[in-house]
Amino acid sequence: MESAADTSPATAPSPSDAPQSPKVAEIRDLILAKLRYAVGKNVASASKHDWFIATALSVRDKVVDSWFSSIVRAKASGVKRVYYLSLEFLIGRLLIDALTNMQLIDETRAALAELGVDLDDLREVEPDAALGNGGLGRLAACFMESMATLSIAAYGYGIRYDHGLFRQRIKDGKQLEYPEDWLSLGDPWEFQRPEIVYGVGFGGHIEAQASPDGEPKQVWMPAETVQAIAYDTPIAGWRGAHINTLRLWAARAPDPLRLDMFNSGDHVGALMDRVRAESISKVLYPGDTSPAGQELRLRQEYFFASASIQDLVRRHLSLFGDIRTLADKASIQLNDTHPAIGVAELMHVLVDRHDVPWDEAWTITRNTFSYTNHTLLPEALETWPAPLMERLLPRHMQIIYLINAIHLDRMAKSGGGVAEKLAALSLIDEAHGRRVRMGHLAFLGSHKVNGVSALHSELMKTTVFHDLDAADPGKIVNKTNGVTFRRWLKEANPALTSLLMEVVGDGLLDDATALKKIEPLADDASFQERYAAVKRANKVALARLVQERVGVKLNPDALFDVQIKRIHEYKRQILNILETVAIYEEIRTQPYRDWIPRVKIFAGKAAASYATAKLVIQLANDVGRVVNSDPTVRGLLKCVFLPNYNVSLAERIIPAADLSEQISTAGMEASGTGNMKLALNGALTIGTLDGANVEILEHVGPDNIFIFGLAADEVAARRAQSISGQEAIARSQRLSDALEAIGSGVFSPEQPDRYRSLVDALTYHDFFLVTADFDSYYAKQRDVFRRWRDKKGWRRSTIINTANMGWFSSDRTIGEYAVEIWNVPTTAPGRA
């Protein structure tokens, strides 16, 4: 392996490094053999799904060969491992991803064609592994791919949920949630490891036992034990030279049933323990509004943190023999606070099971862990009621209290002894009943803490972690997010990738900054034409999909204005809808103006319990229904909401987007990663100075992005004054007309007051400052129109965007984590 510092740009590997590409005939025969002997079907009876499984298994064989080599190499070199603990992995489909990274896509397509099967059909058959909610989970998936690409010996650890994020259907404009069932036909990528099982305890009590050194030893006697069973999915890096493991845990009861109860006739009761245990890995984000729901979430978090830590400690001991060297050989990254209980778990393992003295255990723990924060929203920063934790995890709670006592003692001695300061620094929040602050626990238990964009990392220091940062300056660092270009450029947009490769060469996906080479062609008429032709073809394809899914016909020459992300008030889909309504009114009253045909495309899910967000979805649908069917609009404006947003749908929309809406209230979007994917694929951004938008602006330049609205410090100042929207509404006729239309039922004639509450909230309690930013947003949208009219100018900006997005590759992000946080070596892609 090369040194940790070596993150020098990669070059394409020499043929001897790259896996040998098998012949088409060999692949064809392998697929046929899989179909016959693994799926149990013959060609005559095989369904598309059967072909998909056979093809997946055939490429999996290649992945597995390389996987074993990777494991053997890591073992032999004794290299440090990285453990990425995340409650979410939003992987999406893997077939095209695995084929791309193993560089088997053309051969496999040809082999299938010989069998009369179209690879693109098989792509559509694969269910999305939707084990995540949004950006945080997708980031974890991009990071897994980049860690493999850079040959970091890494494991992802999470939960194998039976049901991932719900399936969204829209009925009468409203979101309905249905259970998602990605495993119903089996998952060809995973390997069950029935022999890798750990017991995870809950409840019970602690016994203080006498020990030779006089200090009582704390022994936890759990009341209940749940088993965690490992399922491994190999994750192939680009060029397939290195493969890592995503290990997901499923919950199982130690006893499949209570035989005595069953035989006495209580058939349901006999299964109760099992149902209770298995509910832990049943669904992603079970509702947590009830106490039972909260308890289940905490059980999920401890379940996967504990199993993962037991597993990595076992691996460390079998490789290196000495628990005291753990921090030299293992880095554990906490993806948000969900696995933060792992800090207490590692202390429990070190102190209680391995008799490591407390202070030394604490040093090992801090040197092993690091923590990524993904949000500053107070409601998203986890806290758990102390009584719940005391009941469920008594020993861990004891450990947390002791960590806190030592920490506060140190703070008091070092001059921070003012009571309010200590209250802010404490692991226990006493303002809302006693609650454990998981962010604080993750912070204290880590040697590095990072935000996910430059702005966000700075805001961490001035807001939620202000006091902890002052007590421990230098601990907070920034790691701006990135996205993997293999999925978000090559797989999503193969035509654009081919065009770019003509200029940049084959090394494009090895070193994304090479994209800069297309910048000199920004004004080149023929390159512009070719780039625009690719975009148009992608728009035609998306228009077809929209027609199929929601029955609305789109004009592929219209401006495709796209907002795709979770539905949340801070992301301000409502601002976008207000502008849509304003333009709708103007098209009707001033039909003679030189309007630009435009399509507003929305997609995203709202949390099932988030009533306002669900109302926003309904409004988008209602506005679409009215606008799309109004003959005076003459197709100049369309508004569509595409149901069930997921990774695969994103792969279809992003390559077809012209304009990317990144319009959150400044200071509230930690980073965003959709913004990066869209800009990379040639959509211009309209956005606030928020999250990674700020850095996108720096990279593409102010002429090639549309920035509007209040900046983060202005947002804070404005909120301190007032959050009433009345003044802004009084100032803007356009805004007041749009609100009036929505509030009076123009888009909901069957229920005129449907949106009264939304309009009232914006008028009197506009926390997200929609009204304050409306005029500035509206004006910026007119700048967008002007640029769109200047076809060459638009195309130029598009090319400049793509050219400058190389820095936003997750390979860059992971390279920085490797050097500055984990201290592990990396290599160029294809060179394991």
The residues of the shown chain that bind ligand NBG, judged by CB under 6 A, are 134-136, 139, 336, 374-375, 380, 452, 481, 669-673, 691
| DSSP codes of every residue in 488-553 | IIIIT-HHHHHHHHHHH-GGGGT-GGGGGGGGGGTT-HHHHHHHHHHHHHHHHHHHHHHHHHH---
Q: Which of 28, 571, 787, 795 is catalytic?
A: 571
CB 89 to ligand NBG: min, Å: 13
Q: Which of 395, 677, 780, 796 is catalytic?
A: 677
Is 673 one of the annotated active-site residues of the chain?
A: yes
Is 571 one of the annotated active-site residues of the chain?
A: yes
Amino acid letter, residue 94: L
Q: Which of 338, 535, 565, 780 is catalytic?
A: 565
Distance CA 618, CA 624 (A): 10
CB 607 to ligand NBG: min, Å: 11
Per the CB < 8 A criterion, the answer to whether 12 and 501 are in contact is: no
CB 579 to ligand NBG: min, Å: 22
> Which residue's Cβ has the minimum distance to ligand NBG?
135
Q: Which is nearer to ligand NBG, 227 or 813 (CB)?
A: 813
Q: Around 157, how many Cα atoms within 13 Å sit in the side-chain half-sphere?
A: 29
Q: 216 to each of 212, 351, 355, 398, 774, how far by Cα in Å?
A: 9, 12, 12, 14, 64
Q: Which is nearer to ligand NBG, 439 or 445 (CB)?
A: 439
CB 422 to ligand NBG: min, Å: 28
Q: Which is nearer to ligand NBG, 459 or 546 (CB)?
A: 459
Distance CA 231, CA 192 (A): 4
Q: Which is nearer to ligand NBG, 135 or 643 (CB)?
A: 135
Per the CB < 8 A criterion, the answer to whether 691 and 671 are in contact is: yes
Is 566 one of the annotated active-site residues of the chain?
A: yes
Per the CB < 8 A criterion, the answer to whether 562 and 554 are in contact is: no
Q: Which is nearer to ligand NBG, 312 or 452 (CB)?
A: 452
CB 481 to ligand NBG: min, Å: 5
Is 479 one of the annotated active-site residues of the chain?
A: no
Distance CA 405, CA 409 (A): 6
**Which residues are registered as beta bridge partners of 154?**
82
CB 605 to ligand NBG: min, Å: 13
Per the CB < 8 A criterion, the answer to whether 585 and 732 are in contact is: no
Distance CA 753, CA 738 (A): 15
Q: Which of 28, 62, 138, 374 is catalytic?
A: 374
Q: Which of 7, 108, 484, 673 is catalytic?
A: 673
Count of beta carbons in the 10 Å neighbourhood of residue 269? 13
E-strand ranges in 532-632 read 559-564, 598-603
In the numeric block, which tokens belong to residue 335? 């993806």
CB 669 to ligand NBG: min, Å: 5
Of 677, 509, 674, nearest in space to 149 by CA: 509
Q: 139 to each of 242, 347, 619, how far by Cα in Å?
A: 20, 28, 30
Look at strands 224-236 and 191-202 and give their pairing: antiparallel
Q: Which is nearer to ligand NBG, 457 or 671 (CB)?
A: 671
Q: Which of 163, 407, 566, 780 is catalytic?
A: 566
Q: Which is nearer to ligand NBG, 244 or 693 (CB)?
A: 693
Is 282 one of the annotated active-site residues of the chain?
A: no
CB 571 to ligand NBG: min, Å: 9
Is 174 one of the annotated active-site residues of the chain?
A: no
Q: Which is nearer to ligand NBG, 484 or 671 (CB)?
A: 671
Q: Which active-site residues does the annotation give?
A: 374, 565-566, 571, 673, 677
